[in-house]
Structure 1
Amino acid sequence: MKKIFFIIPLLFMSCIKKDITSIIIQDDQSSEVNLFKGEYTVHFMNKKDANYKFYITEDEITEIKDTYDDQNIKNYKNEFLITNDDEPIMMPASDMKYIISFSDDSKQTFTVKTDFIKNPLDKEKYKNLKIFIEKINKIIKSKKEIKNALKSDAKYM
Structure 2
Amino acid sequence: MRDEILESYSNVPKLMEKVAIFGALSKDELKVVMGSMTLKKFEKGDTIFEQGGSPEYINIIEQGIVKLIHEENGIRTEVRSLEVGDCFGETALLGILPYTVTAIAMTEVFLLQMSKFMFHNLLKVDPKLFSKFLLNITREICRRNSSYEKILQHNFD
Give the shorter-chain TM-score range.
0.3 to 0.5
* TM-score, normalised with respect to structure 2: 0.36
Bigger Cα Rg: 1
* TM-score, normalised with respect to structure 1: 0.36
